[in-house]
């Protein structure tokens, strides 16, 4: 068997695993699917890509003003999230744009200001920065600067974010903290298919502009039983995925699955029953759920892929230490990406892996 044939066979096995919704061979985490139903009724097996497609399909069907646009969305997008929607709703409502993120955001603001529902896709979150001025100086401030006369609340900007195993410095970044500083925006990060559909539909109905960051490694990581009907999950409300009393573990997106595994390892290796919270919304974030949990456990570990310095974990840590100081048994700890450009071959060393998080948690419990 030739070397080339071996490589092709290995690649086909990897693709088969991805298509069957099993764990990716390149993943730094094990996927923990949602077990509880979001709503009662008929469900269908969907991965996160399909759930996002389904949410946009429902919106385009029920809202004649809705439009979906971005680079290559006409043929489904690079991650296929808009697959089949142009054929279903026409080129006037689902269409490609020039390679100009600032223009995509500006066009979306104009549509939303005119009363339409604008679904803008930035092909990779790493390239959202040319649109940063439009989003934080125009979209976020439109209602305020007009004294409430106008708004662009019908705008939702979708962007694939985070580590994917081979993205390197231009296709792996997590920019949520940049937007958390912009009053007027809402920032959301789902952990899987159910959360993605419920949160995206909530964003599309929200009357403030939303940044919807999609951890791209989760698109085909696993499937869940997702309700077929339309449903929403509340923006600004965290979910307690595992209850415990030894420490509070907080994450969002892919990192939630890392922390769920860390909690399992802590139970087996340390005898510690940890509580795990999916923050879900970065802006606004659920202070009540976080504070109540930390007051109960007395210890807190926050983990995110973005760099440590000024990552959103810093805001959480500062707020927790202000509100829960008398109940804390140890300083709040953060496990995060390093203060460096996102590497390619050294990605496993950059990410806050289960080993790093467990080490931080061990030190936290022994403080």
- Residues of the chain below pLDDT 70: 1-26
CA within 13 Å, CB half, 147? 0
Residue range(s) of every CATH 3.40.50.970 domain in the chain: 43-227
Residue range(s) of every CATH 3.40.50.920 domain in the chain: 239-366
Q: Hey, what CATH topology would domain 43-227 get?
A: Rossmann fold (3.40.50)
- Range 239-366 classified under CATH 3.40.50.920: yes
28, 71, 101, 206: which is the annotated catalytic residue? 101
69: its two tokens: 């646009």
CA within 13 Å, CB half, 196? 33
Specify the pLDDT at position 227.
Answer: 96
- Closest by CA to 235, choosing from 286, 184, 294, is 286
Specify the pLDDT at position 6.
Answer: 46
pTM greater than 0.85 (yes/no): yes
Q: How many residues in the chain?
A: 367
Torsions phi, psi for 362 (to 5 deg): -60, -45
- CB atoms under 10 Å from CB of 136, counted, come to 18
Specify the pLDDT at position 22.
Answer: 40
Assess whether 138 carries a catalytic annotation.
Answer: no
Burial of 288 (0-12, 13-18, 19+ CB in 10 A): exposed
Q: What pLDDT digit, counting tens, does each position of 91-117 carry?
A: 999 999 999 999 999 999 999 999 999
Specify the pLDDT at position 18.
Answer: 38
Torsions phi, psi for 220 (to 5 deg): -125, 20
d(CA 361, CA 365): 6
28, 171, 257, 304: which is the annotated catalytic residue? 171
235: its two tokens: 């923006």
Specify the pLDDT at position 336.
Answer: 98
Assess whether 261 carries a catalytic annotation.
Answer: no
């Amino acid at each position: 068997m030739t070397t080339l044939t071996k490589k092709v066979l290995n690649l086909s096995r990897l693709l088969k695993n991805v298509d069957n919704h099993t764990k990716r061979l390149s993943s730094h985490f094990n996927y923990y699917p949602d077990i509880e139903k979001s709503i009662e009724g008929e469900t269908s097996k969907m991965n996160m890509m399909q759930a996002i497609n389904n949410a946009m399909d429902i919106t385009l069907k029920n809202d004649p003003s809705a439009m979906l646009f971005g680079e290559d969305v006409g043929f489904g997008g690079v991650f296929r999230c808009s697959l089949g929607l142009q054929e279903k709703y026409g080129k006037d409502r689902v269409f490609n744009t020039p390679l100009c993120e600032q223009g995509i955001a500006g066009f979306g603001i104009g549509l939303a200001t005119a009363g339409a529902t604008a679904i803008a896709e930035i092909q990779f979150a790493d390239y959202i920065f040319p649109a940063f001025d439009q989003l934080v100086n125009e979209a976020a401030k439109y209602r305020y600067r007009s004294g409430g006369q106008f708004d662009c609340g019908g705008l939702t900007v979708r962007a694939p974010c985070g580590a994917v195993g081979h993205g390197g410095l231009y296709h792996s970044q997590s920019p949520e903290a940049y937007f958390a500083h912009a009053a007027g925006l809402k920032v959301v990060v789902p952990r899987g298919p159910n959360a993605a559909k419920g949160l995206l539909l909530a964003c599309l109905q929200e009357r403030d502009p939303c940044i919807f960051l999609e951890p791209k490694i989760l698109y085909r990581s696993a499937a869940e039983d997702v309700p077929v009907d339309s449903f929403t999950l509340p923006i600004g409300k965290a979910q307690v995925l595992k209850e415990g009393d030894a420490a509070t573990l907080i994450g969002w997106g892919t990192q939630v699955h890392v922390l769920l595994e860390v909690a399992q390892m802590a139970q087996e290796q340390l005898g510690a029953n940890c509580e795990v919270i999916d923050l879900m919304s970065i802006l606004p974030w659920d202070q009540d759920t976080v504070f109540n949990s930390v007051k109960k456990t007395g210890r807190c570990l926050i983990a995110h892929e973005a760099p440590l310095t000024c990552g959103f974990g810093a805001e959480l840590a500062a707020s927790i230490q202000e509100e829960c100081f008398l109940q804390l048994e140890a300083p709040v700890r953060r496990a995060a990406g390093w203060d460096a450009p996102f590497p390619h071959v050294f990605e496993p060393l950059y990410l806050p892996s289960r080993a790093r998080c467990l080490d931080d948690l061990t030190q936290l419990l022994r403080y």
